Structure 1
Amino acid sequence: MKRADVFEFYGRLAEANPHPETELEYTNPYTLLVAVALSAQATDVGVNKATRALFAEVDTPAKMVALGEDGLKQHIRTIGLFNSKAKNVIALSEMLLADHGGEVPADRDALERLPGVGRKTANVVLNTAFGQETFAVDTHIFRVGNRTGLARGKTPLAVELKLDKATPQPFRLHAHHWLILHGRYTCKARRPECWRCPVADLCAYKPKTPAPTA
């Protein structure tokens, strides 16, 4: 995608949604970290249903450790892979207490050393909690980047690096939220809704999906 088209692409997404936000519910950097860790291979809607009651009671690493693995499982058992996720959340909470004074570090390497925290999770936390210009490539962004021609790559990291290089100011801070929401609600996996897409004319995807017939 040409540089001018990239700017126009983001400009249209920004005009449609000037203040994009994560759809995960959280109250502070710690609960955001936990929510993102729980969201792997799960929907934001499903995570939110499981964490509303949890975060009303537990919003610090110390409280999570006190709740314990079995107590956490009772809250998140509707989420896929809840056993391993509960183990990781307790372990990362213990590490935050031991190594970071109970605070979530605003540092990628420190975040990725936490159990169950990979590059995507670290990028989400750095961007959403700390305002860093990161690009968290999930399945939606991977698809949108490749399908549109905005940032093509064979791996999430390749797409991330291309997005980092191609995305201009003033769009860098919110770019990954715009792309996630675009992929979730318009540029869908099985049937992209090209007929109502605000950037269809800038997109490399062919053939464009026609509007459904009445």
Structure 2
Amino acid sequence: SEHIKFVNDWFNENNVTELVTICAGCYAYFSRYYKEFLGSEFNVKVQHLLQFLAEPNNMNKLNLKYPEKNLKVNYHDACHLRNSSIPIMDEPRSILNSIDNIELVEMDLNRTKSICCGAGGGVYSIFKENSDYNAKTIFENMNKGKALLTACPFCYTALKRIEKENNLKTPVIKFEDFIFKLMEGVDPIN
């Protein structure tokens, strides 16, 4: 497509060699479709923030700690991350398991068995009931987590909407916000 060529030309003109994204859909698009369409002409290393943070040098620099006693959290595996050309499932777990006073409690349906949140690909706009059902099912699959983390903006939007509409007590938190608040010494739950 013309747009892909335009963006790739811009990357080349500006000497962009690495791209780190917080968006699961953008990661999937750049890491898979740009390479498929452009082949060897696409010379940008694409990483999701989870991959970047999970690199040993970066993880050691984080040295994160939850300021209170143990906090149990659940992590939702987003479709665009678990089904990407390089699946991203171990990285969020490695990051969470490296944080003092944080306990990752796996959801009943996790990794490749995780449920689609129902927000991406226009599902919510066309099939709202299906989308709502999926998002509610994700909450039902939580195991003692005091927070639900996701690294996908689509999932965050769908899950946050269900949290608010149903007055659920479990906060939905963007993975990057959770990490950044811990870096600032702030309780990400409050």
TM-score (norm 2): 0.28
More strand by share: 2
Structure with higher helix content: 1
- Structure with higher Rg: it is 1
